[in-house]
Chain A
Amino acid sequence: MDDLERELMSFKDLEDDNDSFDDNSSKASTKSKLPLPNYGMHAEPPRESGFHRSTRVCLEHIRDALLHHRWQEAAEYMACYPQILEDTTNGSAQSYKELTWRISAEILHHHPKSKLEDYNNIYERMKHSGVRHYLMICLEHSFHLLLNGHIEEAKRQLSVSESWRYGKESAAQDQKTKLIQAYRSLLDYIIWVDKKFTNSNTEYPESNENQDIRNYFRTASVNLKEILKNPGVWDPFILSYVEMLEFYEDHEEALKVLNDYAYDNSFPPNPNAHVYLYQYLKRCDTPEKNQMKVLKILHVSVPSHELMLEYSSFLLKSEKSSDIEKALRVVLEMLDFACWRSSLDVWKRLEAIIQKLQQQENWKYVVRTNMAERHGWWPALHFTCFHASKDSEENPELMQVKAPLTKILCPDLTLKYTDWQATNGK
């Protein structure tokens, strides 16, 4: 870590030259000048020593070989490249370290005989060669261990890097630390599940064993709760956290966490957040009204979600007459999307809704208002002769459902779909 000063220095000038784009295009031209990626490959620096030139050319060859997936060739060149790490004159040693690590790891990924020791070797060496990428390489190292099934080893790695403190360098560093903590807690959760599983198999669980499991829960929950406060996508974390909370019957906390995850505006609009909340409510047997509320909100953001089928069935079951119209709208909107167009379930649902709707007096008006905006393109979307021939080939049952509906949905149009059915279907 003796080169910390230099790294920090280089980090500063790294920050300085970042927004060159806005500077160089201050003149009022409509054509944009894009900052093009400069990989430092082809532009020859004005003054460079022979060493730097040979390493630069070597890097070009490595890059070219890797891009063309010629791993063998890349590996041969890579045998020479790490010399650059011994270079003390260059200010951007940090980037060379990361470069070396990335290229070596990629080559190892594609090497037919790479072993875990090789990976460990490169990860350990590179992570200790600099301050700024320590956390990143630690995280990647643990990922590698996890992917290869070494969960305990990975947890040890994460615990080591969790305790690593070296000032506060950047926001990215802070986020890396939080991620490491969260992943460590996720592994705690996995061990918790494991212990619970083995415990449940034995008939008489011991109390100290229970205490041990509870400890895992406690250590895991601290960090998981922490990471859920940051805006982001935390699907695996929240699931494990909620599962543990449910186990210890802390429903209040679980509901709060899920609600925050779904409805906090600083979070990205993750459909899964609503799904988890809905599933939780369903598990807890909360009233249908609450469940429908969640689905209603989900319908606004993702009208094509598969839970909309459940939503429409809720609406269909409902007593209110306006809900039938809502159900019609939900299902029609689902059918707008390509993925539901040939789904028998949705068309059947639509059939059911229409049937129920027809009991009302003003059903024609309701259908017409809902179809008004679709008037121009629904026939082309669903009811052409191409669709007719396709449906009759692939899904005749669908055709049976669809054909009568065309008359109801578009009463004033003569559609090729039914014409085709009339000529070819029978």
Chain B
Amino acid sequence: MDYQFPKQLFPSFYNCGPPDLVLKHCAGNWGCYDRVRPQGGSGPLSSWTFTSRHQVGGEAWRHTEPVPVPLLSPKNSFPWLSTPPDPQDFTEHMQNFFMDHCQDAFGSISGILSENLNLKPGRKGKSRSDSVYMTKMENIIKKVKLKRCPFSFDSTVLDRYGTLLSDVLPAVPPELLGSLLYEELEEQRERMLFCEAATGGALAFIPFSQSGSDPQRGCLLYPGNQGLDFLNFHRVELQQHRGTPSCLDASSCELSTFQLQGPVRQISAASLINDCCVAVRSDHLCGVWRFSEGNKPQLMEVVNTKEVGTCISVSPHVLGEVLVASESGAVNLWTVGKRMQKVRKEEEYLYFNAKSSWRWCEFSAHPRVMQYADRTGVELCDIRMSPVSNHTLFRIGNTSECRSGERLILSRYLADVHPFHHLITTQYSAYIMDERFPCMPVLKWDHMMQSPPMFCHTVPGSDPSRTAKVLLGSHSSQEITLLQYSGGRAEACSSRGPPQALLRPRDSLRHLPVQIPHRLELATSRLSIPAAGLTCIHKRGGGGEECICILQLTEAGDIFYQILEPEQPHTPPQAPERNTPSGIKVAERPPHSLNLTSATSSDEDIIGPNQVLSYVPETPERERPELEIYSSSSESESQSKTRYMKRLHMQLQVIDNVNVDHGNESDTAGVSAETVSEEKAEIPEESSRMEEPSSSVQKLSDGVVVTWKQWLQKLMQKSRENKPRPQRRQPYKVPTEDLLHLSGVQARGEDSAEKERMENLRRDLRACMTSRSLLVHSAVSASLGDQEVVAVPNAVDTDTWKDPTSERFTVSWQGEGAWQAWWEENLGLNRGKKVEALRRKRKREKEARRSSSQQSVLSGSFTSSLCYQSDLSDFSNLSGWSSTASQGVWSDSGGALSQAEDSIENGSRRATTPSSVQTDAPVPTLTPTPTPTPQRDKQASQTPSSTRAPPPTPKSLKKSKRQTDYLSALFAPQDEPSQHGGYFLEEDSTVHHKPPPVASSSYQLHSSQSASLRSVRTGFSQSLTPSRSLTPSQSSQGRPGLSQTSQTKKKKPRMGF
């Protein structure tokens, strides 16, 4: 009797005012009865029974498979963000854009400007009068130290300069691009965390026949294609064969497919007897289709909403009436084919400012009373009166025990469950409202989902004694929660059992055969794509067994389904002291005894202990040679064994539970652990597996494994088909042959040797892979030769450097205190103190001497004077201070140079520099240290010539010039001493390194070889340009010890001089 109102409701307070409750724990309302009310009874005490609002047990449903099963093969593959982007990363995104799409980012402006640029110096006649001279421009650009794109070179001179220029002239101003990008990322992040457009869900199932016995057939509506802009009507059939688990058959052909002009956001459907009306919402368009079992879907009408549509809802009362809500705040009643009638328009919020333009609308028990919802609450609008009369159905704040910050997420009229019931979900709770008694929820759950429930599907109880099931689905975390409740008619509503979390696609991989890493990664990211819809096929227990098939759609267009079956009671209900609210309910409630408690059951899911023995002989198989491991069959076998053992684990504990009093859980756990360890002795191979948490008791059926395998294979295939990124330009390679000064023969010889080495290396690698060993140095050194073995630099002997700068550096390694002491000492700040200390010391010594012996007075006084002198020299080592001052400055400037260099260099290059330092620094013959100095010399005189410097590629020229500018700017006042030092050094270098070009080139050869080798190995595509060899002092960045080495080397010849 649907029209009945409960005779007695559960007592509760009615609180008004803003919610202030903050829940600090994560247990929701577990373990709570909420309220009780007396039931029946009007006589003696024993006749009174009570019933609680939250009842302990509901119907027990169990999964037929431990994983959801994919319904359709993957149709597409595209990269997907697994974590929401951080808006602060917009600079990184900009950088990637500039690097990967430099033509788009800069090409247009440089193209426009190219005709106004005169690139070749000195030829004035040919160019236009208003053209800019690039030589000047070039200088200006060089002065501005910008991060440059390492890839953006092209073959012609024009493009080279064009790119150089384009770095400063992006097509979109970086400020604008940055702010737009930030905005976009922020929105993307919010959309990933909470996508309100998807509310309602874009998946629907329309059953064709209502009869129970034959297989449940119907039409599944889901969006397809990459952008979810295809609406598919697909005939599916829920098949059930005795003995085998039921499955969903989608093999029959699709009924039809429609292409829409935007992603399908929501599908709402209602059917009346045989005719069905389907309304589809995309962002700006809403359409209505009509179809029935015999007829193909037929598009009736499409409307365009000016603002983004937020809700579409088909009337369960009158076919062809649709409610449409949009972000403008208006709700329209759309009578398909006839007219659009404005139901309500609300610019403001219903109750308080929720800062959201999301609106929702649903029908209610009366065909002309509509539900209007925003984030703050729900109102019922009676549209029969000319100013629409409204009254509150639900209001955040007026509903008892709302929590702080709670907002409405979804509201749904539960026409099929109860004609007056509405479901309202917030991010914390789910409420059942009875529209006859507004403002007070008749039921409230803590759904305990991590992300707010946006999809909902209800399964009415097939007869009044059964519970109605509410399935809530969340968007980003893919959760599905099953809630059960009963009542609402003669009896007050009561929830049955705690919320039950169902399976998620993202958790399924751990139940499947192990995947190799890159497949695993792809599959994981694919499976964790947010959900986009939820629906359910309910097969009533007629001829076959009752079951519920829950389908979930993800934003990638995949559909997964899981089938729930009522749990079969294995043992008669054995709880005499259980909560027995009423006589009827005991009988009707399936006993909620654990499935596991029946050790004697013959159910195939539970394996008796006698089967353990049959398992033992199998174990040696696992220790077969590693060749087997690659075959997936043995992999899945071992997987199933793991599960087997898990179940065994469970089973063992269960057996214990039968014997042991279960009053104390810890007791049981202890005993079961003992038994397990006993079993361990029998099966030692599995001991490590046993400790894994037994997450699943169920076994995957072979059919499901095959389905999943095929699905994953198809996914891999699809992902191979379309490249993850559009083809980007090949990085420009600088031809280096002429720079290396190599004879052709040598180079060729080198090539063949190289090739052979690579062959060897590959072979080694393959051997390592097959033997599953690590690729260690000893394995490759043979094929690589000796040259990779880099000598460890000699230990730095600090005693050899006596100059104060070196000393200071040495001392500064000991810490701040030592460094400060050095300075104090050097500046003579502590001189008085020291003299005092010395005097004291001498006095002490004198006294000691006097007391010890009177014999050698004279010799004693002599030695003491000696040591006095040495002490003094120790304490005030001022010699050479003034002479080494210039050196100190020079080394500073060297540091600055390296810093400047570093700021130009890309980070990836920095990674390779230390190795080159290590090779060249300790070997005196190869020291390229002098090479920067001649350059410096020339730069000082501002006359670039290429006599001794390596061939001037444009890059090296630029760089050296830049350095000079930088240096001169930095060290203008100290110009003289540094130049002075430079002269000295230059002379030294000419003396010591007889032909410097040869030395440097030989170094270049070496470094470029090793670099090319390295680049081959590591897969770095950028080749090492020879300009690097010019600036070995860059290695001194952040490494004072090394800069000291180079300093001593500079200094040594000077001492000799």
Bound: A279/B970 CA distance, A: 99
Identify which of A215-223, A232-240, A407-415 touches chain B: A232-240
Task: Name the A residues within 8 Å of B499 (CB-CB).
Answer: 67
Could you tell me if B436 and A233 are in contact, using CB atoms closer than 8 angstroms? no
Is B1010 part of the binding interface, using a Cβ–Cβ cutoff of 8 Å?
Answer: no
CB–CB B365/A40 < 8 A: no
Query: B814 within 8 Å of A by Cβ?
Result: no
Judged by a CB distance under 8 angstroms, whether A230 is at the interface is yes
Which residues of the partner chain A approach B596 to less than 8 Å between Cβ atoms? 72
Give bound CA distance, A75 to B357, whole Å: 45
- The answer to whether B327 touches A96 (Cβ under 8 A) is no
- Does B26 lie within 8 Å of A99, measured CB to CB? yes
* Residues in A neighbouring B27, C-beta threshold 8 A: 63, 98-99, 102-103, 106
Q: A36-B427, A236-B8, A373-B384 are in contact. Are A336 and B580 (CB under 8 A)?
A: no
Q: How far is the CA of A267 from the CA of B357 in the complex (A)?
A: 32
Contact B357 A30 (CB under 8 A): yes
Once A59-B26, A67-B499, A112-B594 are accepted as A-B contacts, the answer to whether A147 and B11 lie under 8 Å apart by CB is no
Q: How far is the CA of A179 from the CA of B574 in the complex (A)?
A: 33
How far, in Å, is B779 (CB) from chain A's closest CB?
39
Chain A 249-275 interface residues, beta-carbon cutoff 8 Å to B: 266-272, 275
Nearest opposing residue in chain B for A303, CB measure: B366
CA distance A338 to B366 in the complex (A): 7
Find chain B residues with CB under 8 A from A401 CB: none
**Binary flags per residue of B636-673, CB closer than 8 Å to A gives 1, else 0:** 00000000000000100110010001110110110000
B25 within 8 A of A: yes
Question: Which of B436, B450, B580, B654 gathers the greatest number of chain A CB atoms within 10 Å?
Answer: B436
B718–chain A nearest beta-carbon distance, Å:
31
Q: Is A15 an interface residue (CB 8 A)?
A: yes
Q: Could you tell me the dominant secondary structure of chain B's interface residues?
A: loop
Contact with B along A273-299 (1 / 0, CB 8 A): 001000000000000000000000000
B419 and A113 contact, CB distance less than 8 A: no
Given A19-B405, A147-B36, A193-B43, decide whether A106 and B31 contact each other with a Cβ distance below 8 A: yes
> In the complex, what's the smallest C-beta–C-beta distance from A274 to chain B, in angstroms?
10
Question: In the complex, which residues of chain A have a beta carbon less than 8 angstroms from the beta carbon of B368?
Answer: 336, 373, 377
Closest residue of chain A to B39 (Cβ to Cβ) is A236
Query: In whole angstroms, what is the CA distance A175 to B318 when docked?
Result: 45
**In the complex, which residues of chain B have a beta carbon less than 8 angstroms from the beta carbon of A381?**
317-318, 367
Q: Residue of B at shortest CB range from A29?
A: B355
Instruction: List A contacts of B43 (CB < 8 A).
Output: 193-194, 197
Closest to B399 in A: A268
Q: Determine whether the beta carbon of A41 is less than 8 Å from that of B26.
A: yes
> At the interface, yes or no: A395 with Cβ under 8 Å from chain B?
no
Contacts A112-B597, A306-B3 given; does A149 touch B11 at CB 8 Å = no
Say if the beta carbon of A339 comes within 8 Å of chain B. Answer: yes
A380: interface (CB < 8 Å): yes
Known A76-B665, A186-B38; judge A36-B451 contact (CB<8 A): yes
Q: What is the number of residues of chain A that contact chain B, defined by CB distance less than 8 Å?
A: 119
> Given A30-B356, A101-B31, A271-B436, is A36 in contact with B452 using a C-beta cutoff of 8 Å?
yes
Residues of chain A with a CB closer than 8 A to B440's CB: 233, 268, 270
Distance between Cα atoms of A380 and B74 in the complex (Å): 42
Q: Which residue of A lies closest to B26 (CB)?
A: A39
Residues of B near A64 (CB, < 8 A) are: 501
Q: Report yes or no: A32 in contact with B25, Cβ–Cβ below 8 A.
A: no
Residues of chain A within 8 A of B890, CB atoms compared: none
Q: Are B14 and A191 in contact (CB under 8 A)?
A: no
Interface residues in A358-386 (C-beta closer than 8 Å to B):
373, 376-377, 380-381, 384, 386
Given A36-B194, A39-B26, A148-B577: A143 touches B437 (CB 8 Å cut-off): no
Q: Tell whether A109 pairs with B56 under 8 Å between CB atoms, given A72-B654, A98-B25, A146-B36.
A: yes
Contact status A79-B31, CB under 8 Å: no
Q: Tell me, yes or no, whether B415 is within 8 Å of chain A by CB.
A: yes
A271, B9: Cα distance in complex, Å: 10
**Structural contact, A143 and B33, CB atoms closer than 8 A:** yes
Task: Tell me if B448 is interfacial: C-beta within 8 Å of chain A.
Answer: yes
**With A31-B356, A193-B43, A271-B5 in contact, is A304–B436 under 8 Å at CB?**
yes
* Interface residue B30 (Cβ < 8 Å from any Cβ of A): yes
B11's contact among A114, A191, A233, by CB below 8 Å, is which?
A233
Q: Is the Cβ of A235 less than 8 Å from the Cβ of B37?
A: yes
Residue A426 at the B interface, CB < 8 A?
A: no
Instruction: Give the residue name and chain of the B residue nearest to A111 (CB).
Output: B662
Q: Is the CB of B693 within 8 A of A61?
A: yes
User: Is the CB of B886 closer than 8 A to any CB of chain A?
Assistant: no
A 338-357 binary contact with B (CB < 8 Å = 1; else 0): 11100100000000000000
* Neighbouring A residues of B29 by C-beta, 8 Å: 102
A54 at interface, CB cutoff 8 A: no
Partner of B3, one of A39, A146, A337: A337
Q: What 0/1 readout, one digit per residue, does chain A (314-354) give for beta carbons within 8 Å of chain B?
A: 00000000000000000000001111100100000000000
Which residues of B751-786 are within 8 A (CB) of A? Answer: none
* Chain B residue, CB-CB nearest to A98: B25
CB pair A304–B420 under 8 Å, yes or no, is yes
Contact of B500 among A68, A113, A266, A377 (CB under 8 A): A68
Q: Which residues of A contact B450 (CB under 8 A)?
A: 36-37, 39, 41
- Nearest CB in chain A: distance from B686 CB, A: 19
| CB-CB contacts below 8 Å: A16-43 with B | 17-21, 25, 28-37, 39-41
Task: Given A268-B14, A304-B3, answer yes or no on A236-B37 (Cβ-Cβ < 8 Å).
Answer: yes
Closest to B35 in A: A143
Judge whether A36 and B327 touch: CB under 8 Å: no
Interface 1/0 per residue, B172-206 and A, CB below 8 Å: 00000000000000010010011010000000000
- Report how far A113 CA is from B317 CA in the complex, Å: 49
| Min distance, Cβ A28 to any Cβ of chain B, angstroms | 8
User: Measured between alpha carbons, how far is A114 from B20 in the docked complex, in Å?
Assistant: 36
Instruction: Kindly specify which of B45-53, B516-524, B1033-1041 makes contact with the partner chain.
Output: B45-53
Identify which of B358, B419, B428, B439 contacts A268 (C-beta below 8 A): B439
Asked if B405 contacts A20 (CB within 8 A), the reply is yes
Chain B residues, Cβ within 8 Å of A143: 33, 35-36, 50, 52
Residue A310 lies at the interface, judged by CB distance under 8 Å to chain B: no
B217, CB-defined interface residue at 8 Å: no
Please name the residue on chain B nearest to A28 by beta carbon: B355
Contact between chains at A194 and B366 (CB < 8 Å) = no
Cross-chain contact A233 with B12 (CB below 8 angstroms) = yes
A209 in the interface (beta carbon within 8 A): no
Is residue B272 contacting chain A, with contact meaning CB distance below 8 A?
yes
B461 at the interface (CB under 8 A from A): no
Chain B residues in 8 Å Cβ range of A161: none
How would residues 189 to 200 of chain A score, 1 for a CB under 8 Å from any chain B CB and 0 otherwise? 011011001100
Chain A neighbourhood of B38, CB < 8 A: 186, 190, 236
Known contacts A19-B405, A270-B437; is-contact A102 B11 (Cβ 8 Å): no
A52 contacts partner chain B, Cβ-Cβ < 8 Å: no
- B5 adjacent to A272 (CB under 8 Å): yes
Residue B444 lies at the interface, judged by CB distance under 8 Å to chain A: no
Contacts of B320 in A (CB 8 A): 380
B1053 → chain A closest CB, angstroms = 56
Contact residues in A for B998 (Cβ distance below 8 Å): none
Give the residue among A70, A231, A384 with the most B Cβ atoms within 10 A: A70
Complex Cα–Cα for A134 and B288 (A) = 56
Asked whether, in the complex, the Cβ of B319 is within 8 Å of the Cβ of A380, the reply is yes
Query: What are 10 A-B pairs at a CB distance below 8 A?
Result: A17-B22, A18-B404, A33-B355, A72-B594, A104-B31, A112-B597, A143-B50, A270-B9, A373-B368, A377-B367
Q: Shortest 10 CB-CB distances between A and B: which pairs?
A: A105-B31, A32-B356, A339-B2, A39-B26, A35-B405, A67-B501, A95-B24, A106-B30, A102-B27, A79-B666
| A residues lining the B interface (CB < 8 Å) | 14-15, 17-21, 25, 28-37, 39-41, 59, 61, 63-64, 66-73, 75-76, 78-80, 92, 94-96, 98-99, 101-118, 140, 143-144, 146-149, 151-152, 172, 175, 179, 182, 186, 190-191, 193-194, 197-198, 230-237, 239, 266-272, 275, 301-302, 304-306, 336-340, 343, 373, 376-377, 380-381, 384, 386, 389-390
